[in-house]
Each structure stands twice: as C-alpha cells, then as structure tokens.
Amino acid sequence: MGTQNLSSELECIHTVEQGSSNNLNFSESDHFMGLPLSDGSSTDGIKRDLDDDNLHLANIKEVGGIYESDDWCDPLSVEEFDLEDDWFDCKESPSIHDEAEDEGSKPLYEGAPLTLAENGCPIFKSSKVSLWPLFFSINELPHKRRFLKENLIYAGLWLGSKPAVGTFLKPFLASIKELQDGVEVYAQDKKEIIIVKAVVLCGTCDLPARAVMLNMVQFNGAFGCSHCLQKGCSTSTGKGSVWTYPFCMTNPLGPKRSHEKMLSDAMKVHTMQMKKPINGIKGPTFLSSFGMNLADGMAIDYMHTVLLGVSKKLLHLWFDTSHSKELFSLTKLLDNIDMRLTKIKPPHFISRIPRSIKDHLGYWKASEYRAWLFYYSLPALKGLMNDIFFEHYALLVEAVVILNSDSISVNDIKYCESLLIQFCYLFGTLYGDRYCLSVVHGLLHLPGVVRNLGPLWVYSCFAYEDINGKLLHMVQGTKKPHLQIANNLCSLLKVPELLQNVSVGADTLKYVKKLSLKKKPASRTEVIDGFISVVGRLLQCNPESDLLPLIVECIGYKPQLFYKFLRLQLNDMLLYSSDYKLVTKRNSYTVRYLKEGVTFFGQIKYFLKCTKCCSCSAKCMCSSDYLAVIKHMNSVAESIAANCRTTLKLDHLLMVKNQGDVFFHIIPVKYIAELCIFMQFENPEESFIAQAPNLLESD
C-alpha cells in the first residue's frame, strides 16, 4: 500500500478512533476551542460560535491577509544559501515546488510552509489544569517578525488535562487541506493575484506534548524516542528505577525511524486491535493527515532537551551535596564558581544578569541556562573543574553553539555529530548509566534534525513559551479561565484589523504601538542612516590631543566641530560606551569590529560626530562623520580550548591575555560588527570574550 493511501486511510481511522467522544474520558474541566484558519470560501477572517456561551472569535491575520500586507518580506530578496552546502532556515518545502512543476500550475510565491507548535503549561499552582495552545508560524517570514501577534496563526486552545489529539485537531483538518489546495492572494510586489499553497513542514514541542501529538509512548517508556528504534532499558536507582538509553556502540543513531514504518505500525495497532504499542506507536495520529513527515518533520526543541534537560541535570550533578563524594562533584568549589559568575556583566541582549548557583539555581529560567551553556560556563569552570570532565563538557558546548549558528555547512553538521557521539559515549562512563536519560540520548539526533530542518533556533520553543506566558496573563481568576482567555485573545487579534480599517491620527497609532512594545524604545536623537541612529544627547567637546591624528587619518580631513555622544542604535543592537555611567551592571560596550579589513576586539569609550565647518547646532544636517573611539585590547587572543587534548575549536570563546600598553582605534560606527560578552575574574591580566552564535535569537 502506498504511503499516500495509507495516510488517507489512517486519517479516516483516526477520525473515528479519537474523534468520537464515545471513546474518550473527558472531565468537566476539559475545554477546547478552535480558531479555523479560513472561513471556507474566503480569507477575510474566521468566525466561529463556541458552544452555549455564543462567544465570537476571529483570527484576523490569517494566511492570506499576512501575504497581502504591505510589509510582507519577499522571500526572493532574502539571502539564499545553497542547500547542498549551507542551512539557514526551514523556510521552504521542496514538495511545493515539485508540485508546481508537475502540474504546470501558476507560479507559486515560494509557498507558505508552516511550523506547528504545541506546548502545555499549568495555569494554577494548586490544580492539574493545564493550557495547551496550538500555533502555526509561517517560515517565510523573517525570524524576528515570525512570532509577532499579527503574524502568528492561533489555531486553538485546549484547557484541562492532556488533550485528546483526534478531537482537538479534527476541526483544523479541513482548513489545512483548503490551504494546501491553495488560496488566491494579491501580491503587493508583483501587483497581481497569485496562488499560495500552505504545507505543514515541521512541528516542535516538548517531550510530553510530542508523545501526545505522535500518539506514541512517553519519553520515559520503551521505544520512547521519536527518531530511532532503540528500546532503552530500566535502570535501578537504589530506591526505584528509571528508563534510560545507554550508548549503543554498534549503532549510536539507529535503527532510524521512517515515516512509512511509523504509519505501518499505526495501521497494525489498529487492524489487530492491539492493546500494546508496536515500536512505541500506540495508533494513528492526525499529523499524518497534514502531510508532515512523522519521523523527520518532528523537531527536537533544544530549549527543553539541551537547556532544561542536559544542562540542568549536569548542574545538579556538579553542585548537589548528595553527589559530594563523586569525582565529578564541584560542591567544594561552588563559592569560587559563584564569585566568577556574579562578576560577569552581560550586554543588554541577555535579559537577565547572572544569578548565584548556590542561592538561585532552583529558580533559573531557560534563558539563564542558555547564557550559562553558551557563554559563562567554560570560563567560570576553567582551572577549577577536572580536565577530563571539562573537556567532556566542552564537547556539548561546542556542538550546540555550532548547531545554533546563523548558517551551518554540511561539514559543520558532520563535525557536531562526531562531538555529540563522543559526549554521549563518555557520559555513562563519567556520570553513570543511571543518568543516560532520554534527553542525553536526544543529543545524538540533533545533527540529523538540523540537516532536515535547519539550525536549532529556527524551531526553538522560546518564542512559543513567551506567548504561553502572555496567554496565562489573560487569566485573572479561577472562574471559567477558558472564556477569559478567549475574550482577551479575541480583543488582541482584533487590534491589527481595527488599525487598518479605522482612520486614526499619528498620535493614536504611536500610542497603540507603545502599548504593544515589550520594552520602551530608545530615544533616537539623530538618524545617521536607515539602520544607525544616535541615542541620547550630543555635547560639543574637544577630543584628547593624542586622538586628533587618528581622527584625521580615519576620515581624511581635520574637523572643525566635535560632538560627543554615549549611545548608538546599530541595526538591532543598542551600544553603550564605557563613559556612560548610568548603567553599572551591564557591559554593552565590548565589541568585535573591523579596521582595514582586520577583525579586532575592544571596548567603546565614546562616540564622536565630526563636521568639517558649520555654525549649526548639534542637530545640523551638514555632511558629518560618525566615529567610535575604541579602547583596543592590545592582547593575544586564543581559543579557550587551545590547551585541550581534544580537537575542539570553540571559536566563539576567546581567552585574552593583555600584552603591553593600551591604545585606541578610531573607526566609522558602521564597522562595528557585533556586541560581545566580556568576562574577567580574579586575574586582571586575563579575560574572556564570548560571541553570540547568531544575531537572530535573543531573550
């Protein structure tokens, strides 16, 4: 039987099996609401009445409306990468283009590949009632705009215990099929009506939700991995047992699951009416009806697997007093590590300053585990942790950072695969097989997921968890929380349409925009170009005499007037200078910059506006040059892994040793490349610089 026919048959089976309330045990606290993706005949919006409450919901910014908006980003203008050599983003699905070629149909607008996201979160501390929202995001949108409320597709909400997937997803099946057949929209750039076809390209969720969506056993059961057929085993913990996945020497990554095999197992469970799962598959899943590849299309979310899974477990092993007699324990060095950690002053793109492990580890958020893994941990542990454990942990850091990069080559993926195999191979030996849990095993499949779907940040659950938090804030009491969320969500989704259809003044639009912003925007004094702006006051000044020759050398003339300013908006970066004294717990002035094509690191002292000759005020529009005065780190920088016995690179972490006197570089502000994390501990002659793996994902 062909895969397509099998999927169609399973669709019908699943509708009967899990779509019927006779086969489900609902509690009185279970509610679900659907926000269909279209209204059947048009893409002007979606309307639905809910049960007896006669509650009207509308998803205003549906797929067609998003494509027709003026600020839609033309995918063809986005920098493209050769898929044979480089992965950037899971933006498109080959099946869309293949279909267009086979049918000879009207040219498509790169299609509308969607990412499905499902994550549960508790509503009340004293109740088991949880909120399970279902989202679709459009991969064609730039990452920073992909998760704006007007661009995210809210498909439905389940409130109660774990959702019955058949009942929950059944209302969306018709809408998805309609979008897969194609909808006509007006393309602003082409000035013509085109056909947009949508396809569910991948899904992302935490481990419990993934088992629910795929209708398979949970991660702590036999065959609980959704990417391979390793069974795992029960391992004694002394007081009980835990399900583990010891490293398989003969086949670390397999046997791999396939979409066809998962469909076949689901069919066997149904036709034979088996009460036990086959290879972990409990039965049909509605996801097969969406056309998504069940094996390769379900992503591994690194927020839950790596950060809240492996990193959290390692910190527990290192610093919990119950392991104080183990070789890997760092409990005796906790105060030293805490002292190093709390000395770090992160830049503003890291939302939280480092908190003590001893006092606050139990309250760390996922973003804090990310900053620890990417930037803080190796410098804080260097020289204190046993070299064997340090180099073993560095394998994980190196692999996850590379897999989170802006773009990743085929060789990068192979390199990360070898690193993670080494990490998992040694994990049981160093920490014990009892801790080879499903999250550790999941590391082995990260390179394969990146090979299929793109870098880890593309389908990370960080953005969806942030939206979950906003939904939870819509609940103000314990009475009918589902209706509270529905009412508030309806109002939230209605705002973009109202702003488009109602004639309002500039002050009103400015006020509404201000209410929708998470942070107060920087006060721009002067726009240098479309991406660079002066922030704060400009004060006339006379620079130091030893800097004048450097200024003249940089701009080619001797300025008559100088204006000093202390903050600069460069693209999405808000740069501070070390002379700006109002911020003491942050360091947003350590940067990587270019001078004559060579990369340097340094700290911005202040910024200068230089003009040839005029009698205007500081805000004059005469020809001016904007410069950065940078205290160059006259130092020798080498990778933190330079003395390791392994082949690690760790290029994003540099150890800086001061060499000689300090001097300054003068450069145009446009040559500032990126903000870096600066770390200096007990040795003033030695410091560390960390670079972000990508410029798209931020707290």
> Measured between alpha carbons, how far is 93 from 176 in angstroms, rounded to an integer?
16
Query: Which secondary structure element, helix H or strand E, spans residue 697, and what is its range?
Result: none
Report the pLDDT value the prediction gives residue 659, as an integer from 0 to 100.
65
> Measured between alpha carbons, how far is 303 from 245 in angstroms, rounded to an integer?
20
> Measured between alpha carbons, how far is 153 from 491 in angstroms, rounded to an integer?
15
Residue 28 has pLDDT above 60, yes or no: no
Residue 79 has pLDDT above 50, yes or no: no
> Measured between alpha carbons, how far is 76 from 78 in angstroms, rounded to an integer?
5
CA atoms 478, 484, 485, 486: torsion sign: positive
Residue 19 has pLDDT above 60, yes or no: no
Higher pLDDT, 577 or 492: 577
Residue 105 has pLDDT above 50, yes or no: no
Least confident span in 64-73, 197-206, 584-593, 595-604: 64-73
Report the pLDDT value the prediction gives residue 20, as an integer from 0 to 100.
38
Residue 264 zone, left/alpha/beta (φ > 0; ψ -120 to 50; rest) = alpha
Higher pLDDT, 230 or 27: 230
Higher pLDDT, 590 or 60: 590
pLDDT in tens, 613-651: 665 555 555 678 999 999 998 666 676 766 666 678 888
> Measured between alpha carbons, how far is 176 from 38 in angstroms, rounded to an integer?
9
Confidence label for 586 from pLDDT (cuts 50, 70 and 90)? very high
Determine contact, residues 35/154, Cβ cutoff 8 Å: yes
> Measured between alpha carbons, how far is 287 from 115 in angstroms, rounded to an integer?
12
Residue 189 has pLDDT above 80, yes or no: no
| Cβ neighbourhood burial of 503 (10 Å; 0-12, 13-18, 19+) | exposed
Residue (of 300, 270, 260, 95) closest to 166 by Cα position: 270
Residue 697 has pLDDT above 70, yes or no: yes
β strands within 44-90, DSSP E: 47-50, 55-58, 86-87
Averaged pLDDT, 18-32:
49
Distances (CA, A) of 326 to 332, 430, 450, 584: 12, 10, 35, 39
Confidence label for 75 from pLDDT (cuts 50, 70 and 90)? very low
Higher pLDDT, 477 or 166: 477
Long-range contacts of 574-578 (CB under 8 A, 24+ apart): 574/348, 574/522, 574/535, 575/604, 575/672, 575/675, 576/348, 576/604, 577/604, 577/605, 577/606, 577/607, 578/603, 578/604, 578/605, 578/606, 578/631
Report the pLDDT value the prediction gives residue 23, as an integer from 0 to 100.
40
Residue 94 has pLDDT above 70, yes or no: no
pLDDT in tens, 237-264: 888 899 999 999 999 998 999 999 999 9
Long-range contacts of 309-313 (CB under 8 A, 24+ apart): 309/437, 309/439, 309/440, 309/442, 310/396, 310/439, 310/440, 310/443, 311/369, 311/372, 311/373, 312/364, 312/369, 313/435, 313/437, 313/439, 313/440
Higher pLDDT, 216 or 613: 216
CA angle 263, 264, 270 (to 5 degrees): 90
Determine contact, residues 396/420, Cβ cutoff 8 Å: yes
Three-state secondary-structure class, residue 156: strand
| Cβ neighbourhood burial of 336 (10 Å; 0-12, 13-18, 19+) | middle
Report the pLDDT value the prediction gives residue 668, as an integer from 0 to 100.
96
pLDDT in tens, 369-417: 999 999 999 999 999 999 999 999 999 999 999 999 988 999 999 999 9
Averaged pLDDT, 152-163:
79
Alpha helices in 116-258 (DSSP H): 143-146, 165-181, 207-214
**CATH class of domain segment(s) 524-690:** mainly beta
pLDDT in tens, 500-552: 666 666 677 777 666 666 666 667 788 888 789 999 999 999 999 999 999 99
What DSSP line would sit under 269-323, residue for residue?
A: HHHTT-SS-BTTB-S--GGGGGT--TTTSBPPPHIIIIIIIIIHHHHHHHH-GGG
Report the pLDDT value the prediction gives residue 199, as an integer from 0 to 100.
82
Report the pLDDT value the prediction gives residue 106, as an integer from 0 to 100.
41
Residue (of 649, 602, 646, 656) closest to 628 by Cα position: 602
Report the pLDDT value the prediction gives residue 589, as an integer from 0 to 100.
96
Tokens standing for 153?
């597709």
Higher pLDDT, 505 or 693: 693
Residue 31 has pLDDT above 50, yes or no: yes
Distances (CA, A) of 685 to 18, 603, 632: 65, 16, 15
Confidence label for 472 from pLDDT (cuts 50, 70 and 90)? confident
- Residues with Cβ within 8 Å of residue 126, at least 6 apart in sequence: none
Tokens standing for 565?
């300013």
Three-state secondary-structure class, residue 584: coil
| Cβ neighbourhood burial of 19 (10 Å; 0-12, 13-18, 19+) | buried
Residue (of 136, 142, 135, 134) closest to 91 by Cα position: 142
What one-character DSSP code corresponds to residue 29?
Answer: T
Report the pLDDT value the prediction gives residue 642, as an integer from 0 to 100.
62
Residue 99 has pLDDT above 80, yes or no: no
> Measured between alpha carbons, how far is 157 from 162 in angstroms, rounded to an integer?
12
pLDDT in tens, 551-574: 999 999 989 899 999 999 998 889
CATH 2.30.30 boundaries in the chain: 524-690
Determine contact, residues 3/259, Cβ cutoff 8 Å: yes
Report the pLDDT value the prediction gives residue 695, as an integer from 0 to 100.
80
Residue 17 has pLDDT above 50, yes or no: no
Across all residues in the chain, what is the average pLDDT? 80
Residues forming beta bridges with residue 408, ordered by sequence position? 87
Residue 47 has pLDDT above 60, yes or no: no
Higher pLDDT, 519 or 210: 210
pLDDT in tens, 112-141: 678 888 777 888 777 777 888 888 888 878
High-pLDDT (> 90) share of the chain, %: 46
Report the pLDDT value the prediction gives residue 127, as an integer from 0 to 100.
76
| Cβ neighbourhood burial of 524 (10 Å; 0-12, 13-18, 19+) | middle
Determine contact, residues 158/32, Cβ cutoff 8 Å: yes
Higher pLDDT, 160 or 532: 532
Three-state secondary-structure class, residue 515: helix
Length of the chain: 699
> Measured between alpha carbons, how far is 378 from 372 in angstroms, rounded to an integer?
9
Residue (of 438, 435, 416, 413) closest to 426 by Cα position: 435
Report the pLDDT value the prediction gives residue 399, as an integer from 0 to 100.
97
> Measured between alpha carbons, how far is 335 from 340 in angstroms, rounded to an integer?
9
